[in-house]
Structure 1
Amino acid sequence: MRFTPILVGCTLFSLLLSGTANAAFHPINDSVLTQNKLYRSGKLKPSECPERRIKPNDVPSAKRYLTSVMNCLNASWGTYFKRAGLPFTKAEIGFITKPKRFCGQPWGKETAGTYCDAEQRFLVILDDDTLSDPSDLYLFQVAAHEYGHHIQNITGMGRAFEYHPYKGKSELNEQIRRNELQAECLGGVFTGSVWNSLDRTEADWEELLDITRDSGDEHSKVRDHGKGRNIAAWLDKGFRATSPAACNTWTARAPQVS
C-alpha cells in the first residue's frame, strides 16, 4: 500500500513553467482515474458547517472541533454520492498526541494527518505544531484533505492509483503527487460548499493559501506532494468550483502536478 500523508504547514492555476517539464510527463492510462463518474456528478450542494470554538494547545476542544467537521464531511459527501447514484461509506476519524505506527507504517516526520484505505479511517495528530495557533483554517483543511483520500478510496481511484504501473522513481513520484493534489482539491471542494456557513472572510482563505504555499516539496527532500504553489492552486480551484470535476489531476499537464 502506498503511504501518502499530508504535511504540516502544507491563485492562479495557469502556471507558466518551462517546456522541459512537459518532457517528464507520464500519462495515466486508467479510466477509473481519468474518467471516473465522480467527475460527472455535478457540484456539492451548499450546506451548513459552522465551526466550533477551539482553544490553543487544547486537545479536548480540538477533538470536538474536528469531530464536528467530520460529521459535516460525512453528511455533505453522503448526500452527494446518493444523488449521483454512487455507493457511499462514511469515513471515521481518530486522534493521537504523539507519532505512532498507523496502517502498518511509521508516522511520517511533520505529518499532520494520514488516511488508511483498509480501515476507511484517518488519524490527526494533535501536538504543539498543530495546536499552537488553531485560529486559521489549517485543521479544517487537514480533515477535508484526508477525507479527499476517502473519496478516492470509495470511488475506486485509490486502488487504481495503488496498482498503476510505473517505471522509475520519477514516474512514481509524479503519480503520488497527482493523488495528493487531487485530495487537496477535493478538500477545497468541500470547504467551498460550506463556506457561507463559516464565520470567515476572504482574508482567512488567503491566509490558508499562504500556509499551503509554504508547505510544498521545496521544504522536503522527497518530491511527492507537489510545489507549494501547485498545492495552493489545486486547493483554490476546488474551492472556487465546488465540484469534483475540477479535481481531475490525472489528466493535468506535468507542470500543474510538479
Structure 2
Amino acid sequence: MRLAPLITATALASLLLSGTAHATSVYPIRDRVLTANKLYRTGELEASQCAERDVKPNDVPAAKRYLTAVLNCLNRSWGTHFKQAGLTFAKARIGFITKPRKYCGDSWGSASATYCDAERRFLVLLDDSLLEDTSDLFLFRLAAHEYGHHVQNLTGIARAYHLYPYRNKSELNEQSRRMELQAECLSGVFIGSVWDSLKERGEEDWQTLLEIMRNNGDEGEKIRSHGKGRNRAAWLDKGFRASSPQVCNTWPASASKVS
C-alpha cells in the first residue's frame, strides 16, 4: 500500500500562500525512471517458442503445470532480452493458492493473481471463477501480466511508482492505472513475441481475449485502479502488435488513455 507523503503545517501554509506545490507536483509525471526508462529503448522481444499445455476446466494440477510452463517461457524470453540490452535480470517465481489469503503484507482483495516486489514472485488464486473456462487465453495473459510487474520491478519502475507523490486519491488511482496498464501492455509484448508458436491460436482467439478484457474494467468499481475495459484491451493490443516495450510508456499518456 502506498502512503501519501507527509506535509508539515508550515510547508502546507507555504504552498497555499505561493499557490504552487513543487514538492508534491504529480502531473505531468516527471520522474525519468518512469517516463524515460531504459526499458523503452531495448527494442523488440525476439520471437521465441512457448507451446501451451493442455488444461481442462477446474483442473488445479493441470493449471499449475500450464502456468509454470508459461512462467518458464517468460523467464527465458525476458532474460534474453535483458541480457542483450545490458540490463540486470533475475527470474520471477510463481506460487498457487486455492483460497484468498494475506500476501506481501496486504489482504488479497478480488485479484486473480498478485505480484510481490520483495519476493519477486506472484501468487495465482486457482479458484472456480478462474478455472471455470480454460479454453481462452486468459490464463496465459494472466501470467504475462504479473510478469509485467516483475519487469517493472527489475527496471526500477516499481520503486519509482511507489515513491512518487500524489495529492489525493484521484491522483493515486490514476498513477495506479498507469502502472497496471503498463503491465497489461508488457503482457501483450510477450504474447506477440511467442504468437507464432501458439499453433492452435488465431486472430479469433486474440479478439476473444480483448473482449474479455473490455468486459473486465474498472467501470462500476468503487476504486478505479486498473483502468476501463476499453483501455485495458487497447494497451494489451498495443503491446501485442508492436512486440516492443517502447509502446508501453503509459506515464506521459493523456488522462483519457489511462482512465
Taking structure 2 as the reference length, the TM-score comes to 0.90
CA drift at 1:221: 1.4
Counterpart CA distance in 2 for 1:173 and 1:107 is: 18
Structure 1 segments (4+ residues) deviating >6 Å = none
Instruction: Count how many residue pairs are aligned between Structure 1 and Structure 2.
Output: 236
What code does the residue aligned with 2:257 have? Q
Secondary structure of the structure 1 residue equivalent to 2:95: strand
Identical amino acids, percent of aligned pairs: 67
CA drift at 1:257: 0.4
1:102 aligns with 2:103: yes
User: Could you say which structure has the greater relative contact order, defined with CA pairs below 8 angstroms and 6 or more residues apart?
Assistant: 1
User: Which residue does the alignment assign to 1:245?
Assistant: 246
Counterpart CA distance in 2 for 1:2 and 1:79 is: 32
Counterpart CA distance in 2 for 1:257 and 1:132 is: 30
Secondary structure of the structure 1 residue equivalent to 2:122: strand
CA drift at 1:85: 0.3
Query: Which structure 2 segments of 5+ residues have no match?
Result: 4-25
Counterpart CA distance in 2 for 1:30 and 1:101 is: 31
User: Which residue does the alignment assign to 1:169?
Assistant: 169
CA drift at 1:219: 3.6
User: Which residue does the alignment assign to 1:233?
Assistant: 234
* TM-align CA RMSD: 1.1
Residues 146-183 of structure 1: per-residue CA shift (max 9 Å, x gap): 00000000000000000001111111111000000000
Residues 100-133 of structure 1: per-residue CA shift (max 9 Å, x gap): 1100111112x10000000000000101001111
Counterpart CA distance in 2 for 1:27 and 1:151 is: 23
Taking structure 1 as the reference length, the TM-score comes to 0.90
Trace 1:155-194 onto structure 2 (pairs within 5 A): 155-194=155-194
Counterpart CA distance in 1 for 2:202 and 2:94 is: 27
Trace 1:17-166 onto structure 2 (pairs within 5 A): 26-109=27-110, 111-166=111-166
Counterpart CA distance in 1 for 2:226 and 2:256 is: 13
Query: Which structure 1 segments of 5+ residues have no match?
Result: 4-24
What code does the residue aligned with 1:103 have? C
What code does the residue aligned with 1:27 have? P
CA drift at 1:2: 4.2
